[in-house]
Structure 1
């Protein structure tokens, strides 16, 4: 690929590859200019132009970003202003969009309770009045905050997170989108000792929560998974899930939406599980594509070896019924992931084998490396989303028994999570260095002026 040229002779434009945590490379078009004060080049701007898969270094094989033309991006306050307020206009004292804006600002600062939101409102009313002319001149009570959060949770929680998040996504194909459930312990009752359950959809490449669905007492996660995927634009992505959601209905929805899947296979799909295991025991090794990684962290040494076989091996009279149930598997892959873990302190050795199926083409270059990174990326929904919501945003400590309040409060915390993730990505892209952690960003956002200016961008 030829190097782009700048119209300004004083500016120098170059392509730079930035490695991401999931193994992919972001290709950035970096514009720099010579600064006589430091006697060196200084970066003045950068632009994302494409992406390279794990193991690939040839820029001619770069996956370009899709054009964003035709879709006007809105700021966060503008997106909030589009929300429908079901209250009678005659009795509205606190506008819904401004109240929720304050709730998001408070979550970005690391506070979660309605009392803290009311106190933040009172302490920063003069600052907020500077940015929003129609901001109320009176303080708000914690009961009013709670009622408005319940109103969002009852009517518009799913539309709200979708409207926010679509402004933050990088328009790149082959993102990994993970589906998994999370129990909110703060909502546990005698009837629900584990608390209410929230099904989340997470983009591990952009580190953004795309959607959520609160699961009722007598409802099942499986019945909601396909509907949740059907409501999202996942074209060109790879969807992952655990064995619980490995269902034919979900896989069919994923393929219909123009995406690929990589799903775990266990005893709940007994026939498929037995067949995949059997092929790895009997098939000659010359057909297998494999890859291996070694990690030494957290007082343990982990060796992971992935082996991939073509799904077309099932294209026969005996297994054809199984193949028809899983669309995309005929051109896709059967996967075995073996993990050997050595505990450094004790010398204990653990061995684990897991099996997967995927619609990613077996003939695709670097398919073993790509699948290994995809499977590892699925755990980001636990480590980077669920854990952060519980620990950094105190989701397990918020007081909630009402399902509507839970839905509204959870989605507002995820909006704050998404904003901080985007701020981290922007800082890394602009500076070329690792960004501050999310707890450090919470401290930065305690400054109301800084937080509002960040939202406006």
Structure 2
């Protein structure tokens, strides 16, 4: 950690424009885009409108000597900025203001930006893969792929950006790959990977090992919880086996593999006997007990509610059609920056939409939001 603010990190991004044509500073354009999104803007024209309404306030943070750029200029510049530089800037900023501790769960998962699908040009929708700190509810990094199947290649690129030493990285079955597991271990972290059919031999070994009666009688580490509400009862059972001999030679294919885990979810409505039983398999390089396995696997899915749902409902991400050049990926990074800052603010206890509305009309509140996570 070096104490640099978000503005300091933004200033490192290289300006791709010809110097003699520059009228508006790059840092001003990026900063304007970030605070406008915090204040409720979801597109280039709204960013311009926000800037014109808040010009005097903006001059506290940047030059803005030539006023506010028009929306076409903002869109063109954001499309020219290197997305890799923006990703690195974002990750370094989060590394500077977010201190991970041993055992923190870092959930990695992908999300398709549905509005970016372009049927006319036969271009698929942008797919972003993000790393999310479950405990702190902040995005710590993201990269773009052209489609969901490319998560396998995107995840190692994302891991290169992150400081995850001592953390437990959780990934769904798409990321259950030997190279990804090794990359995580080489970064000084541990992995918890879901196992499905893309690893046929590993899944078969689990299927051969697991029996339903283990949920009632298991010699290894076991843990269960039960929740009731709305006429439903859900029981979760976690089992951890440290005897990897049941995997045979497969166990040696996975870097530092320590345990195999099983999580069962049993849902019952009323007093009717249920057949709704979900069984999930996991492998981990960390010597987890069953309680930690259950908690960590549930923490992984927090990325759906605390990140993906908020991006859709609170920030209208799926409705956004920005995708030209590098703009779609850069705008996704800006949304993540805005989301992190809004989540960090505890002065106004409200949902994301209300926070954005208040930030758009109250400069004092917006200034307070920027103070979070070392933004200003």
Corresponding position: 1:291 with 2:215: no
**How does the TM-score come out when normalised to structure 1?**
0.74
Is the 1:176–1:238 Cα contact (8 Å) retained in structure 2? yes
Partner residue, 2:190: 260
Aligned-residue offset at 1:281: 3.0
Q: Distance in 2 between matches of 1:143 and 1:392?
A: 25
1:307-386 aligned at under 5 Å gives the runs: 307-314=239-246, 319=248, 321-329=249-257, 332-343=258-269, 350-362=276-288, 367-386=289-308
TM-score, length-normalised on structure 2? 0.89
Summarize deviations over 1:165-195 as a string: whole Å, max 9, x none. 1233134221111111111111112376862
- Mapping of residues 232-251 of structure 1, within 5 Å: 232-251=162-181
Higher relative contact order (CA 8 A, sep 6+): 2
CA gap of 1:357–1:132, structure 2 versus 1, over 3 A, is closer
- Residue aligned with 1:328, SS: coil
SS of 2:298 mapped into structure 1: helix
1:227/1:299 Cα in 2 relative to 1: closer, same or farther (>3 Å)? farther
1:7 is matched with none
Does the 8 A contact of 2:259 with 2:285 survive in 1? yes
Q: Structure 1 residue aligned with 2:206, among 252, 276, 281? A: 276
Unpaired segments of 5 or more residues in structure 1? 1-70, 428-433
1:454 counterpart residue number: 369
Partner of 1:441: 355
Query: 1:39 corresponds to which residue?
Result: none
C-alpha deviation, 1:111, in angstroms: 1.8
Partner of 1:229: 159
Question: What is the aligned partner in structure 2 of residue 49 from structure 1?
Answer: none
- Residues 145-160 of structure 1 mapped to structure 2, 5 A cutoff: 145-152=74-81, 154-160=83-89
Which residues of structure 2 form unaligned runs of 5+? none
- What is the CA-CA distance between 1:353 and the residue it aligns to? 0.9
**Structure index of larger Rg:** 1
Corresponding residue for residue 236 of structure 2: 304
Q: Compare the two structures and name the one with the higher strand fraction.
A: 1
Aligned to 2:64: 135
Q: Distance in 1 between matches of 2:344 and 2:243?
A: 38
Q: Which has the higher helix share?
A: 2
Counterparts of 1:373 and 1:218 in 2: how far apart (Å)?
26
Task: Report how many aligned residue pairs link the two structures.
Answer: 368
Aligned partners of 2:110 and 2:148 also within 8 Å? no
Query: Is structure 2 residue 143 aligned with structure 1 residue 213?
Result: yes
Decide whether aligned partners of structure 1 residues 346 and 437 sit closer, same or farther in structure 2, where only a CA change above 3 A counts. farther
